Amino acid sequence: MKFFTLHDAVPYVGCAATIGFFDGVHRGHRFLIDQVAAHAARRGLASLLITFRTHPRQALHAAYQPRLLTTYEEKCKWLATTAADCCATLEFTPQLAALSARQFMAEVLRDRLGVKVLVIGYDHRFGHDRSEGFDDYVAYGRELGIEVVRAEAFSMGDVQVSSSMVRACLAEGEVGMAARCLGRSYELTGRVVHGFRVGHELGFPTANLEVEDAQKLVPRNGVYAVRVTAAGDGPVQAWNGMLNIGCRPTLGEGNAPTVEVFLLDFEGDLYGSVLTLAFVRRLRDEKKFRNKGELAHQLREDEERVRLLFAENKGL
């Protein structure tokens, strides 16, 4: 896939396109993108995705802090695995936000990006007048020489897949349902920093992660089974892990949440390493124990459950 901005040369002549923030690049997004690629192939055009580097609401409300499923870099990584040929990244500025739908279609889609076919998601709206909808876009398209096509909606049984739905799942710790909607495990990346080292005392030395992007959504507090990878100069290293997200209530260390992972069968120093956690299953809520001994006993039980889970599901 070729990535470019409005400042770059367009790498094609004529395209079929769709527009979206594509947070998470979930199965609904992929279903839409497949339709764009099919329309493009039938007409001999390139297939184009139009997205934004930052959440559009941030351009309108500076204080807005989105809870992202994917950073911009992660989003590009997953978009590159789809059937689309190209991706144009727009900066959602107040000037862009002020354009009407017709102006956007004329000045950006037709004149700058060469869009011949625009595939509209079932609930997508653009332009400063949010009261306009699909029929208006079709009418503008006739004037401008852009064929506007309504995309088919993605269905996963009785579940309506959306980025908001995935966020709601993660907020409840339902990482299995989130994975079904995403088509893959939800991931969180962070750098290993120095922590309290209490895990060493309990026999469970943990890597304390500082999540790289403050806007990235951290799932609900609790204990999880995760797959952990560390990228370096050599081959990617991977381990099974036991993750705790929470405020360490037994240790009385305040309310600041921590993300700590215990790597099964690992010995070594990970300080400074960048780890990616893929959420497999939620084991339990975070609990407050009477003392460190009770906490250590629970951690041993958690470790047994994680080992059994991965032993019974070798493909995880």
Share of the chain above pLDDT 90, in %: 69
Asked if residue 55 has pLDDT above 60, the reply is yes
User: What is the mean predicted confidence (pLDDT) over 161-178?
Assistant: 96
pLDDT computed for residue 197 by the predictor: 61
What's the pLDDT at 273? 92
234-273 per-residue burial string, b: 16 or more CB within 10 A, e: under 16 = eeebebbbbbbbbbbebeeeeeeebbbbbbeebeeebeeb
- pLDDT at residue 232, rounded to an integer: 73
Q: What is the pLDDT of residue 76?
A: 98
Query: Which of 310, 312, 314 lies closest to 224, judged by CA?
Result: 310
Tell me the C-alpha distance between 222 and 282, whole Å.
7
pLDDT of residue 62: 73
- CA distance linking residue 56 with residue 58, whole number of Å: 5
The predicted-structure confidence for 297-307, as pLDDT tens digits, reads as follows 899 999 999 99
pLDDT, position 178: 98
Residue 307 has a pLDDT of 96
Cβ–Cβ under 8 Å, residues 282 and 223: yes
Range of weakest confidence among 210-214, 239-243, 250-254: 250-254
Lowest mean pLDDT among 22-26, 39-43, 292-296: 292-296
Torsion sign, CA atoms 275, 279, 281, 284: positive
pLDDT digits (tens, 9 = 90+) for 101-159: 999 999 999 999 999 999 998 777 777 766 788 999 999 999 999 999 999 989 898 88
Query: Which has more confidence, 27 or 314?
Result: 27
> Model's pTM, two decimal places?
0.92
What was the pLDDT predicted at 313?
A: 84
pLDDT category, 65, cuts 50, 70, 90? confident
Q: What is the DSSP letter of 251?
A: G
CA nearest to 27, candidates 173, 151, 178: 178
Nearest-angstrom CA–CA distance, 290 and 104: 61
Question: What pLDDT shows up at residue 290?
Answer: 78
pLDDT of residue 109: 97
| pLDDT, the chain, mean | 91
Q: According to the model, what pLDDT value does residue 29 have?
A: 97
Burial grade of 30 (CB within 10 A; 0-12, 13-18, 19 or more): buried
Note the pLDDT of residue 235: 79
Ordered domains of the chain (ranges, CATH) = 2-150 (3.40.50.620), 185-312 (2.40.30.30)
Mean pLDDT of 47-51: 98
Q: What CA–CA distance (Å, rounded) separates 258 from 206?
A: 11
Alpha carbon separation from 75 to 62, 181, 288 (Å, rounded): 22, 15, 37
pLDDT tens string 176-220: 999 999 999 999 999 999 876 665 666 678 899 999 898 999 999
pLDDT at 254 over 60: no
